[in-house]
Structure formats: structure tokens, C-alpha cells
Amino acid sequence: MSSRTPAPPEAIAPRRAHALQCDGAVLVDVREPAERALGAPETGLVLPLADIEAGRVQALPRGALILTLCARGQRSQRAASRLRELGFEDAASIQGGFAAWREAGLPEAARGDDDFAERYLRHLLLPEIGEHGQRRLAAARVVLVGAGGLGSPVGLYLAAAGVGRVRVVDNDRVERSNLQRQVLHTEARVGMAKVESAARALKALNPGIVVETVDARLDSTNVEAVLEGAEVVVDGADNFPTRYLLSDACVRLRVPMVYGAVYRFEGQAAVFDAGRHRGEAPCYRCLFPDPPPAEAAPDCATVGVLGVLPGLVGMVQATETLKLLLGLGEPLIGRLLHVDALGMRFRETRLRPDPDCPVCAPGREFPGYIDYERFCAA
């Protein structure tokens, strides 16, 4: 140990701390990786507070002056106190933390991807996601079928979450009556193709993602090409032919389908993943072997829908999509979530795979695509 007077236990001002560091003191950053991604001193050791509190301090040199640093000075005080308990008598905290260090204009390490660290900070702080999970989202590919009421919240939240490539499929144009619930679109874009309007909104929210557009109606001749490369398919369609087609294609391509539907004041959401889990998870046909007659299931243009309801169901779909991509939690596989907006009640129905399902029964060859318009009209 040098002849320098040991540091007192109270906090040391940043400029004084930097001078001591230049004179041989060891700066120890006790923050989490996500915090350091937004900025850090030019030199120093990294040792999270949890490690210090647990006594995992083998990396620290004995006999040196230790200066602990956190975001604003509170955690570093705890770290310094714990280090003194562990025998590091010359341990002190840097007053005001890194915020004061930066304000004092002291040297900082070169920063890498500033936008990534700052934009996704709240994800990076979650141990279940962290940098690895966020990079996983950046590499993900999702196909969103429908840029309407359900597709709007799904698209916005997937873009905000940093899903790297979103392919939006729709063949409609923006109408003024859409604006009551389809929040991707604006008054200025009435008459524009929905996929183009959606792409503008998503890129404005997160310029770092790739938005692909498919201005076409899905049918059996193009569905597999449109879904190519998808890790998750989100069903934001508003008609039964498209929904049955999507379900069959997802079984064939072994891709999970995140289902959502709204009607007046009620909604539903589920995850159908029979393609990857034959005999264990149902497909959409297991739930609805036959489409309901038109008079039993009129569309929103006929009976209306509460404007915020697609937002509620769409956010559930976005949540399930992120869970599937990150491998988190318990997806809505084999479960149908019912939403009653008027009573603000949620209930769940268990779903079982149909052992005689014409599409997803174990060992059954894919029967091929059918005329879904005729099937739903029959």
C-alpha cells in the first residue's frame, strides 16, 4: 500500500476520484450490463453489486484503494460498505455515481450501438431477456396477416420491441371508418394501401427494423411463399377463409399461429402450434371443424365492434408472439382466452387436439389446400 492516506468511508467527488484513479486507485463499476451499455468510465473493473454482496470479489486487488461507482451513488455506498466488511479497508463510493461522472466531463469508454442500448434498456434490464434475448428478437421474422384492428396493435408492439423483420400482408386500402380502431393508420393516409400505411407507421416508430409488405389476398397458390421464413405467424385476418387457410399452412410448415378475433364487445386469443406438436397441441380446425353459417358470425362491418377491443386482444397476441420468440413463460397453446370487455372479465377454455382432425392428426399426411371460400360458404 502506498503512503497515501486511506480514503474515508464517505463518498468521494468524481473529479477527486478520477485523480485517485490516475494515481493507482481501482475504479469498480457495480452497475448491471444494461446500465453500462448507456455509458461507463473509460477504465475500471466491472463487478455487479450482487457479486460484491455475495463475497465474490476475487478479481479485486488487495491493498489497493477501491472506488465503487453506480448510477447515482446509492448502490456504490452499499458496495463500499460491504467491501470494508470483506477486508478492503480502503474502499469508498464515488459521489453522485456515473451521472455525476458524466456531468463533470470525465473520460468515458467508447460506446457501441447507442440506439440499441438506449432504445431497449427496459428489456435489457430484465434478466429473462437481457442482451441475448434482445439480439434474438432483432434476428426474428414474423408474418403479420392483416393490418387492421388486430394487426395495428400487434405491429406497433412488435416493432417497438425490436422484432427485426415484420412482413405485413393485406390487400385493403385505408378507409375513414377504419380509423376508429385501426391505429396504424391516419386521416392523411385514407385511400392508401394498408400495407404501405402500416410500413410507414412501423418504420417511424422503429427505423431499425425491416418491414416487408405484401399487398395481396392470401390463397392456396401464394400462402406458402408469403409465410416463407416465418418463425411466428400472427392471424389478424377478418374472415374465415383466410383463417382456415393460415391454420392449414402453419400445420404444414410447422409454424405457430397466434390467433385473435373480435366481435362487438367480445374477443378471443389462442396459440395454435399443432405443426410442431402433433397430437399434443390443437390447430384451428380442432376448435372449429366447420365454419359457422354467415348469419351466426356477421363481420364487424355488419354488427360493429368496440374500438378499443382489437387493441386489447391484439396486445395479447403481441405478448404471445414475443413469448414464443424468446421461449418465455407459458404460451396460450391448448388454451382459448375469452375477453368480455363490458364485464372486463377474462376466462379460459382448455383445448384438446382432435385425434381425427383432417389436417393435424398424428401420422396423417397433409391433405392439400382446398377451396376455402367454398368451404366457408357451404
The rounded distance, in Å, linking the Cα atoms of 273 and 250 is 8
Strand intervals (E) in the chain: 26-29, 45-46, 66-69, 91-93, 141-145, 165-169, 210-214, 232-235, 257-263, 266-272, 335-340, 345-350
Q: Decide: helix, strand or coil at residue 91.
A: strand
Q: What nine digits make up the cell of 5?
A: 492516506
The CA-to-CA distance between both ends of the chain, in Å, stands at 89
Q: What are phi and psi of 167, to 5 degrees?
A: -105, 120
The Cα 150–Cα 181 span in angstroms is 9
Crossing angle of helices 130-138 and 309-326, in 10° steps, is 110
3 state DSSP class of 190? coil
**Half-sphere exposure in the Cβ direction for 239 (13 Å, CA):** 17
CB of 158 within 8 A of CB of 212? no
Catalytic residue list: 300
Distance CA 240, CA 370 (A): 13
Q: Dihedral angle at the C-alpha atoms of 25, 30, 34, 39, nearest 10 degrees?
A: -30
Cα 32 → chain centroid: 21
Calculate helix-pair angle for 194-205, 151-161, nearest 10 degrees.
30
